[in-house]
Amino acid sequence: MQDSTATNARDAGRAAQRAAEARPVRIAIDAMGGDHGPEVVIPGAAMALQRHPQMRFVIYGDAAQVEPLLDGHPALKAASAFTHTDVSIKMDEKPSQALRLGRYKSSMWRAIQAVRDDEADACLSAGNTGALMAMSMFCLKTMPQVERPAIAAIWPTVRGESIVLDVGASIGADASHYVNLAVLGAAMARIVFDMERPGVGLLNVGREEIKGIEAVKEAGRTLREANLPNLDYRGFVEGDDIGKGTVDVVVTEGFTGNIALKTAEGTAKQIGEYLRSAMGRTWRAKLGYLLARPAFDALRAKMDPSRANGGVFLGLEGVVIKSHGGADVKGVAAAIDIAYDMAHYQLMRTIRDMLDETPIATAS
Amino acid sequence: MQDSTATNARDAGRAAQRAAEARPVRIAIDAMGGDHGPEVVIPGAAMALQRHPQMRFVIYGDAAQVEPLLDGHPALKAASAFTHTDVSIKMDEKPSQALRLGRYKSSMWRAIQAVRDDEADACLSAGNTGALMAMSMFCLKTMPQVERPAIAAIWPTVRGESIVLDVGASIGADASHYVNLAVLGAAMARIVFDMERPGVGLLNVGREEIKGIEAVKEAGRTLREANLPNLDYRGFVEGDDIGKGTVDVVVTEGFTGNIALKTAEGTAKQIGEYLRSAMGRTWRAKLGYLLARPAFDALRAKMDPSRANGGVFLGLEGVVIKSHGGADVKGVAAAIDIAYDMAHYQLMRTIRDMLDETPIATAS
């Protein structure tokens, strides 16, 4: 994969990266996204700034709502450039509608545009996923070697964390898209887990080579034969392997990935409800609960979705992070931490390098 | 759907059913299936018999292993006809291999054949799913109105239980297969939940009509327009709706359904491990655990997969139940309970009636 487009893209990326290394990480924020808007996003940014005091922000949103909040967080205000925007994308807006209403002028678009114009190294929005992806594709463009962008989630496992992608951007996939997803996920894993050769599995209905969808089987053969330097292909994994942490990166297409993610979230909530109801049923259980309270709190923190908040859009010419719409202040801060890591540890450069090293026919 | 094939099938079904009503429910058992074989299957059957003393069994397996176990359960022995078989299907046998080696003579085949020959009203195996489905399709045949059979799971939810199908028989689906699955699942729900018009949802990546796979959207339109008398179509549901029990029947194709099921099992195990480790970490937590022990036991029982053990094969000309390969005695007994209910409450007749009432072009 050494055609001129890829090489130019890589060189451009490296040049941008060299420039980026000289300055602090800059995050563009869509303050108007999410169920709670600036009330949660601004304090979330303030919390993230405490952890990375050298971070800088460019913030977009409605001045009447955002400015009073910034006044309440002077450290954040000092580290930020704020721009008023008239249009906010609603959570239930269709992507096409969002593009029509919000292109060029919404807080969401402007945050993405800041990445495109190199005014920020990554952007964050808690707004509606479909609109954010549509605008990101329109504004930043998809990388030349990538068919369609994907959304990657960081998934807590019994061994730590894994990356699961795609959790909802692309519906359906052919073999080359699965291979793309594997490379994108491995690049992200290098950064998130700081490992040279992450273990990658293709999600399937059985471990045997003969099982499953033809495109998955073909992608498996391609990855096995390619034996890539930065991607340790481990074969098929099943649904229960995700929580076990069998591999560092679990690859599937967006329909199945989205349903797997939401099914796991639903199951965790369901068990939480069982547990609450079991612990409140008798005095003995209530007393036991009180004694074991710190353990329960630790468990709750471990199951807390805000810990792993932040879907990473992969395959675009820039870093876009989607915070959960219902995220609280801690959740938004966690998503900004992810944005920081992706920018600081050079996700774009890693992806470009790995795509260049992949001797596999991909989209062009 | 009143063509002669369907009507004949229905009449034949009803005639068989009238005959069946006059006698006790008869279950055919493949004693050799599962990770533990007859050691678990035979005591499981004995346990189920205690709950339904009028049940009768036809049991197939290796005499050297099965007969001593039957001697240890005299009530079961008295209620059973045992036939020795030479061939047992291995858990890792490929379906094609299983058919080649086990057709006509394996314990699995003979149990299915007993249903075909009207020597049993339902059959049960804990053997390998692919082999059991291949043999069932070969021996019993798929119903004329059904494209491909499906496997339905009974899924515990915060509101009780739901039926989820397909959890692994068919990979991929067109709109008419989704409609078939909806009707098959609703028929099963009528029996399991004893309700006239179960609520049915199509699993998708969002609730909006515009989202998801084209075949799912088309099936949704068909089901909405059909407005069936015995199926209350409620639109799209998402992964987290399964555990919430939003609908009685969740419809998806086998790839996504299998991954959703295993992801939920994996998440439940993962949280169980978190909980165990949290409760063992300090003396205070340990003491709390001891006090709350009965509550934990109740929780464990609720999360116990053996409670809902038993995948129901739907769309075949006969009732086949698949017990989990790793099921214990209680799990096998639970699966036999399901087989009993399906036979006693006339699953086949319900399915035939509902397919006849479905004014939708389906396979013929």
Chain B residues touching residue A292 (CB < 8 angstroms) = 278-279, 284-285, 287-289, 292
Q: Which residues of chain B does A178 touch, with a Cβ-Cβ cutoff of 8 Å?
A: none
What is the domain-level CATH number for residue A340?
3.40.50.10950
Q: Is the pLDDT of residue B11 over 80?
A: no
Residue B302 lies in a domain: no
- What is the average pLDDT across A256-277? 89
In a domain, B299, yes or no: no
CATH number of domain containing A163: 3.40.718.10
pLDDT (average), residues B282-293 = 84
Q: Which residues of A touch B304 (CB under 8 A)?
A: none
DSSP string of A35-94? Answer: SSTHHHHHHHHHHHHHHSTT-EEEEEE-HHHHHHHHHT-HHHHHTEEEEE-SB---TT--
**Nearest beta carbon to residue A279 from set B172, B278, B292:** B292
Q: How far is CA A1 from CA A4, A14, A360, A361, in A?
A: 9, 17, 7, 8
Same-domain status, A195 and A302: yes
Which of B172, B205, B299 is the closest to A259 by Cβ?
Answer: B205
What is the per-residue pLDDT for A21?
A: 52
Q: Which residues pair with A232 in a beta bridge?
A: A199
- What average pLDDT does the segment A335-349 reach? 93
The verdict on A167 and A79 lying in the same domain is: no
Angle B283-291/A293-303 helices, nearest 10 degrees?
A: 100
Number of domains in chain A: 2
User: Which of A38-52, A311-325, B80-94, B306-320 has the weakest average pLDDT?
Assistant: B306-320
Q: Per-residue DSSP letters for B267-334?
A: HHHHHHHHHHHHHTSSHHHHHHHHHTHHHHHHHHHHH-GGGG--EEEESBSS-EEE--TT--HHHHHH
Looking at CA atoms only, how far is residue B242 from chain A in angstroms?
A: 7
Task: Look at A140-144, B80-84, B290-294 and tell me which has the smallest mean pLDDT.
Answer: B290-294
Q: Give CA separation, B82 vs A48, A233, B77, B303, B330, in Å.
A: 70, 48, 8, 35, 22
- The verdict on A184 and A245 lying in the same domain is yes
The answer to whether A96 contacts chain B (CB < 8 Å) is no
Rounded to an integer, what distance in angstroms lies between the CA atom of residue A363 and that of residue B41? Answer: 53
pLDDT tens for each residue of B319-331? 999 998 889 999 9
* Number of helices (H), then strands (E), in chain B: 15, 11
Q: What is the pLDDT of residue B16?
A: 52
Residues A26 and A74 in one domain: yes
Q: Are residues A253 and A231 in the same domain?
A: yes
**Same domain for A239 and A358?**
no
> Is B240 in contact with A260 (Cβ distance < 8 A)?
no
B301 near A CB under 8 A: no
Give yes or no for B8 touching A (CB within 8 A). no
CA distance A25 to B134: 58
For residues A32 and A93, state if they share a domain.
yes
What's the angle, vertex CA A36, arms to CA A33 and CA A40, rounded to 5? 90
Domain membership of residue A206 as a residue range? 147-307
Say what the pLDDT of residue A22 is. 54
Give the residue on A whose Cα is nearest the Cα of B273. Answer: A158
In this predicted model, what pLDDT tens digit does every residue of A192-214 receive, in sequence order? 999 999 999 999 998 887 778 89
* Residues A264 and A274 reside in one and the same domain: yes
Residue B252 lies in a domain: no
Same domain as A354, residue A213 = no
Most confident of A192-196, A225-229, A358-362, B36-40: B36-40
Are residues A13 and A159 part of one domain?
no
Q: A284, A307, A330 — which closes off a domain?
A: A307
Pick A297 or B85 by higher pLDDT: B85
Chains A, B: CB contacts under 8 A, how many? 199
Query: What is the percent of chain B with per-residue pLDDT over 70, rounded to a whole number?
Result: 91
Interface of A with B in 169-198 (CB under 8 A): 171-172
In a domain, B30, yes or no: yes
Q: Which residue has the higher pLDDT, B145 or B60?
A: B60
Q: Which of A289-303, B75-89, B170-184, B254-268 is predicted least confidently? A: A289-303
Average pLDDT for A130-135 = 94
pLDDT of residue B7: 41
The residue to which tokens 């109740």 are assigned: B298
Contact A171 B260 (CB under 8 A): no
Domain co-membership, A117 together with A249: no
Please check whether residues A321 and A299 belong to one and the same domain: no
Q: CA of B256, closest CA in chain A: separation in Å?
A: 5
How do residues A147-188 score in pLDDT, each as one tens digit?
A: 899 999 999 898 889 999 999 898 889 999 999 999 999 999
Q: Do B274 and A158 count as a contact with CB atoms less than 8 A apart?
A: yes
pLDDT digits (tens, 9 = 90+) for B78-101: 999 999 999 999 988 889 999 999
* Residue keyed to tokens 């699993």: B203
Interface test with A, best of B171, B263, B275, B300 (most A CBs within 10 A): B263
